[in-house]
Amino acid sequence: MNPAKVEDKLAVNKFDIDKEVHIRIREDICKKCEEHYCLYACPASCFKITEDHITFSYEGCLECGSCQIVCDKEAVDWALPRGGFGICYQYG
């Protein structure tokens, strides 16, 4: 039936992906972090963990701001994509 995984759900959304990355994470801080709240707070599963390494892909970002708010170590440099780029809701 319908997709249950976030990645597949995002595939039906319309994005105008900016070539400039709008969110960066500070890996030096993430390496030392034990909680990794970002992994669970991101509704678009943009954060992934491999061994002890956090990676972030901005393409599916829904621009909600959860990651920056939930990170208590200020490791997420959060900005919005440039005007006209990013998620473009048809319904909302």
Is residue 10 part of the contact set for other proteins (CB under 8 A)?
yes
Nearby residues of 8 by Cβ (< 8 Å), 6 or more positions away: none
Residue 28 C-beta: closest distance to other proteins, Å: 20
Cα distances (angstroms) measured from residue 64 to each of 7, 8, 20, 23, 34: 16, 19, 18, 12, 23
Is residue 37 part of the contact set for other proteins (CB under 8 A)?
yes
Instruction: Name which position in 21, 27, 31, 40 contacts other proteins (CB under 8 A).
Output: 40
50 or 90: whose CB is closer to other proteins?
A: 90
